[in-house]
Chains A and B, each alone.
Chain A
Amino acid sequence: MKVLALDASNRPLSIAVLEDRQILATTTTTTHQKHAQFLLPIIDGLMKDCGLKPADLDRVVVAYGPGSYTGIRIATATAKVLAFTLGIQLVGVSSLQTLALNFTRERQLISPMFDARNQNLFAGLYRIKDGKPTVVIPDQHVELSRWLTKLASYKDESIIGVGDADHFPDQLPANFTMAENLNKLPQAANLGLFGQTLPAVQDIDSFVPNYLRLTKAEADWQKLHPEEDSSSYVEKV
């Protein structure tokens, strides 16, 4: 199976091309701010390095959120339209879980987190089981203080903080250790390996980023109109 994997959820941009368990090529950069501009040239370059054409791909694996709304939308749109137009398989993986894929020590707890500003986080808690991160506390948009309360029952275990964990050096408890070096960054090669073990998306049309948060306008609207069905706001004309 030939696989393209990509993560553009935050500042790092990571892309990999794999054939089954073999990583053919991968790159991770932290210098690009314009993912919309750089993503496809990097994909194209890696594919050419591997001697592959787009039509050779069998599966696209994407980190589809949470993260920067623009970042996860670019990655998701890229993967969604590519899978759709080539008629190949599509797999979405949590962008937080993607960071947890950097760790393999059995039973290790990992708390990937993205800074959502104003002391808010996108965060989840994972435990390595049979070499893979499994969900302990599901991904959520949460206040930092609330998140730390939820982690309190794991105070006797070590937790690895990854992602933007180092934005809060003085607030995280003593059982936290910070991921370092390459482990701090999403690795699309790991994403591609992991994504091969998951079932493909059944309905590509309805595959959208996992924002984990309504827009403010939408949230305010739903508060005022709790009965309204919000599923049919787009009409074909």
Chain B
Amino acid sequence: MKRNLMMAFESSCDETSVAIIENGAKILSNVVATQIKSHKRFGGVVPEVASRHHIEEITICIRDAMQEANVTYDDLDAVAVTYGPGLVGALLIGVTAAKMVAWAHQLPLIPVNHLAGHIYAARFVEPIEFPALALVVSGGHTELVYMPKEGEFQIIGETRDDAAGEAYDKVGRVMGINYPAGPTVDAMAAKGNDTFDFPRAMDKDANYDFSFSGLKSAFINTYHHAEQVGNKLNHDDLATSFQNAVVDVLVDKTLRALKNYPVKQLILAGGVAANNGLRTRLSAAIDQLPATQLIMAPRKLCGDNAAMIGAAGYVLFKEGHFAGLDLNADPSLEFDWAPDVIQ
């Protein structure tokens, strides 16, 4: 069988990325230009700044991805692109670029949901078997997604306020840690003790939803109160206490979901999936469930990248799910809820 070669684009937030993927499973190249250094200056992603960087980087990324993969346009079979969710101005650069490459070379255009992309980063570990459940945790998302079969995504739970990664950034800022704070807080958490016993919001609720704004407020109140009375709190202990509260809820809810939705595989994906605390705790918990295999997205594919978009796009390509030339960015794109879920 002739190999399928796909050029994939990702530009939903602060990474411009272009990848060449073979048969949805093999990375020939995955060029990622990150703007973190730029947005660090502002303590978080500034949308207009992000859009401006994307258009500066886009052709460089295309050229590098093709050179690294050693392919020409004649070799390509399709073009995949993230069209949502994300920052609209940022998404538009990837969408526009993908449309022009597809149109110029008469290739099918595949519209990919960014979260499907995150989930399919796990495809580079091994093939996804269905039914499957995915825990997607990032700076913008915290969701449990049930996949009854290939190409079907159903939300069974999501955060009602902050995403987990967003909470990391906010408590990080309070402790004087620069954006993005996740990796630093994770490293500190490995050294401290859980001495603060922060709230585990919604942990006992029957649904699969999350809430992290209460935890964030509890953390900030504790910190500021201590500051006012001249108390210096141990930052490692704060990090451990915060991280334990986040991970407890994520793991508890996921295990409960697995009871009602027995699956062959549990997939951990998204930027926060690179978190060591979460990886360790989830691995230990899944050891108790021999029927379910845990697949964790490779660490370097947890953040935003186009390789994952190519993997998810290949599923749509096989189904003949193509976009028209009128494809637009959809900043609030989301999966449907599962029909039978407890809300």
Contact = CB atoms under 8 A, between A and B. Distances in A.
A97 interface: no
A27 interface: no
Interface in B309-328: 324-328
Contact of B97 (A55, A77, A211, A218): A77
Residue among B57, B326, B329 with most chain A CB within 10 A: B326
A235 interface: yes
A105 interface: no
A82 B104 CA distance: 7
Interface residues of A, number: 40
A58 to B, nearest CB: 13
A73 B91 CA distance: 12
B96 A208 contact: no
Interface string B50-70: 011101111110111000000
B201 interface: no
A205 B96 contact: no
A52 interface: no
Contacts of B58: 77, 80-81
Q: Interface residues of A: mostly helix, strand, loop or mixed? A: helix
B32 to A, nearest CB: 5
Interface string A146-160: 000000000000000
B328 A34 contact: yes
A182 interface: no
A235 B56 CA distance: 12
B89 A73 contact: yes
Given A78-B100, A215-B46, A73 B55 contact: yes
Given A69-B51, A81-B100, A215-B49, A234 B328 contact: no
Contacts of A86: 104
A235 B34 contact: yes
B100 A82 contact: yes
Contacts of A69: 48, 51, 89
A233 B38 contact: yes
Contact of A36 (B42, B52, B55, B95): B95
Contacts of B325: 40-41, 44
A204 interface: yes
A233 B15 CA distance: 12
B73 A234 contact: no
A234 B100 contact: no
Contacts of B37: 232-235
B335 interface: no
A174 interface: no
A70 B55 contact: no
Interface of A: 34, 36-38, 40-41, 43-44, 53-55, 69-70, 73-74, 76-78, 80-82, 84-86, 204-206, 208-209, 211, 215, 217-218, 221, 232-237
Interface of B: 16, 31-38, 41-42, 46, 48-49, 51-53, 55-60, 62-64, 73, 89, 92-93, 95-97, 99-101, 103-106, 324-329
10 contacts: A36-B92, A37-B326, A55-B104, A73-B55, A77-B55, A81-B100, A217-B42, A234-B37, A234-B56, A236-B33
Given A73-B93, A85-B100, 7 more contacts: A76-B55, A80-B59, A81-B97, A217-B48, A218-B49, A234-B33, A234-B34
